[in-house]
A and B are shown apart, each in its own frame.
Chain A
Amino acid sequence: MQQIAKQTGQLVAIIGPGVLWIIVFLVLPSLYLISIAFLSNDPYGLPQLPLSLHAFRELAGFGLLGWSPGNLYTLGRSLWQATFATILVILISYPIAYYIATRPVHLRPLMLVLIVVPSWTNQVIRAVGWMNLFSPGTPLANLSAMLGFTEPQMGLFPSQFAVVVGMVYNFLPFMVLPLYAAFERLDHAQVEAARDLFATPMRAFVHAVLPQTLPGLLAGTVLVAVPAFGMFVVPELLGGGRSSMIGNLVARQFADGANWPLGAAGALLMILATLLGLYILRRAARRLSSEREMLL
């Protein structure tokens, strides 16, 4: 008993400062923000009593002037842009991860670093790069105008296209890494057995390769889709009003168009989406314990 008390004391002394820091500067603020979602807003957009669910109704589009679909459009757009970006990321990452995993051992770390290095720079800087490329008068913009995708003299941004490209660019490493880990562990005997049993390459892929890489694919999908849903910088810089996402909607409520409770309600939605993603990820990780080692 006495020993357990002593050890508990040591535990508190060792992890106390770090735990306390995270609780005070993340958990409490988040709880405070969530609580704001259940308050009403004063004329300046700041929260006040009484408690109400008004913010959630507002998030669903019920405003002073009756129902308008604006917020729901933003929500839908967040979902669709995140989904579209995720699918593109998968389509690019799958062959890339496979390609890296089939290169000689000493080349692989180098190739992985090459994939990861761009993400070491700042999100804002990466967006600036695309703004340069997509500006009016650049070869890319001229090409798209020539093909009739955009008006002459217009740039490729702001646009949904630019937002999706920016997100794919941002999240590519998050998909390549778990997929690569899955491919590296691929049991080639299974693939060869499938080929040996007269499976076509396509059927061998579906029955032998895909199931083995599925946990990695699922992990990557969550790692990409969840932050993509909450993306803020990319739509803000590369998109306009017609491609803004829920992160922008939330941020706006704490800036010019102040309405804290509405913003907090949106934030709560984002937190719930994140928790859902985490839950899926844990389920996926359990299916392949080695995957868990990598992620946790």
Chain B
Amino acid sequence: MRLFWYATMLFLYAPLAVVVLFSFNAANSPARFAGFSLRWYDRLMTNDALLLAFKNSLILGVSSSLIAVVFGAMLGYGMYRFRHWHLHWLVWLIYLPIVMPDVVYGISEMTFFVAMHRNFGIFEPGLSTMILAHVSFQIPFVALLVHSRLLVLDPLLFEACADLYASPLKRLRYFLIPVLWPALLASFLLAFTLSIDDFVISFFTAGPSSTTLPIYIWSAVRKGITPEVNAVAALIIAAVGIAGLAALVYHHVKFRFSHSVKT
């Protein structure tokens, strides 16, 4: 059993490890490791197309996540506040972006944007259409996260606020936003991760000048896989690894804390 676990870990991490390893390869081929070298990373730093892709990814990720957090949080709060109305259509609508096959998702956005552009001159494919598309699949995740946080709150808290002289605006400012703050931060990070990680939908909604990191890697790979691609990928893996480590440490600290309080 234990052996099987380690085998699965090997299966899960070997491809990532290989990417990182060969990004330091002095040779040009994944067939052999010819010694440690940083030259591929050097080359990255002077690759303007890549730096542009990196910048595009950041702009896309940050702006779409900000919009999605605002509208998604409102949607999640609406779902909570009107939960007694049994809005089944709303649940379906929210799950639609999550379950839609990404190819179909990307292509329907593309055909839609192309048609709008041809007929009305709006939505020219580029970063702006990518932001529109990304927000549409980020909103449901934010809404569900905020909604699940609200569900564990005592519903009387809202009434306690009103009872203690807080007007609707003050309830938002002094209660709802502070109490949701961790959930909002988590949704922003989730939305950002979704955006940075997305390839298929970006691929179909991108314009000629709005290449993002995943699209850059994709087109580089199509030309043949090089250690330079490995170097970009390794940087992304490192970022994810740090995030994973942070999650683990956070969990560990929280676990310890909750136990020390109880004893």
Contact = CB atoms under 8 A, between A and B. Distances in A.
A144 to B, nearest CB: 14
Interface extent on B, as a size class? Answer: 35 or more
Interface stretch (B36-44, B128-136, B157-165, B177-185): B128-136
Interface in B82-123: 82, 85, 90-91, 93-97, 99-105, 107-113, 115
Nearest to B97: A26
A254 B111 CA distance: 9
A169 to B, nearest CB: 7
A122 B214 contact: yes
B50 interface: no
Contact of B244 (A30, A120, A138): A120
B261 to A, nearest CB: 16
Interface stretch (A57-65, A68-76, A123-131, A205-213): A123-131
A278 B30 CA distance: 41
Contact of A232 (B72, B200, B233): B200
Given A29-B111, A95-B1, 17 more contacts: A11-B81, A22-B97, A22-B139, A25-B132, A33-B108, A99-B1, A110-B251, A121-B16, A125-B19, A128-B15, A128-B225, A132-B22, A227-B101, A260-B111, A264-B111, A274-B100, A278-B99
A45 interface: no
Nearest to B255: A106
Interface in A21-51: 21-23, 25-30, 32-33, 36
Contacts of A11: 78, 81-82, 85
B230 interface: yes
A74 B239 CA distance: 37
Nearest to B193: A120
Contacts of A230: 101-104
Contact of B100 (A26, A133, A137): A26
A232 B95 CA distance: 21
B242 to A, nearest CB: 11
25 contacts: A18-B139, A27-B96, A32-B111, A110-B248, A110-B252, A113-B247, A120-B197, A121-B197, A121-B236, A125-B16, A128-B19, A129-B16, A130-B15, A137-B31, A169-B11, A172-B12, A229-B101, A233-B200, A247-B101, A247-B103, A250-B103, A267-B104, A270-B104, A277-B99, A278-B95
A65 to B, nearest CB: 26
A158 to B, nearest CB: 12
A138 B33 CA distance: 10
Interface in B205-248: 213-214, 217-218, 221, 225, 229-230, 233, 236-237, 240-241, 243-244, 247-248
A33 to B, nearest CB: 4
B217 A125 contact: yes
B61 interface: no
Contact of A169 (B9, B12, B109): B12
Nearest to B18: A132
A229 to B, nearest CB: 8
Which 7 residue pairs of A and B lie closest in terms of their CB atoms, listed nearest first? A129-B15, A137-B31, A230-B101, A18-B75, A29-B112, A15-B78, A29-B108
Interface residues of A, number: 72
Contact of B221 (A29, A109, A131): A131
Contact of A26 (B15, B72, B136): B136
Interface in A124-164: 124-133, 135-138
Given A14-B78, A29-B111, A125-B217, A118 B12 contact: yes
B4 A14 contact: no
Given A26-B105, A278-B99, A135 B30 contact: yes
A71 to B, nearest CB: 16
Contacts of A106: 255
A254 B107 contact: yes
A271 B101 contact: yes
A251 B199 CA distance: 14
B32 interface: yes
B193 A32 contact: no
A117 B103 contact: no
B61 to A, nearest CB: 12
A128 B244 contact: no
A92 B7 CA distance: 10
A226 interface: yes
B110 to A, nearest CB: 7
A274 B72 CA distance: 24
Contact of B90 (A19, A131, A132, A296): A19
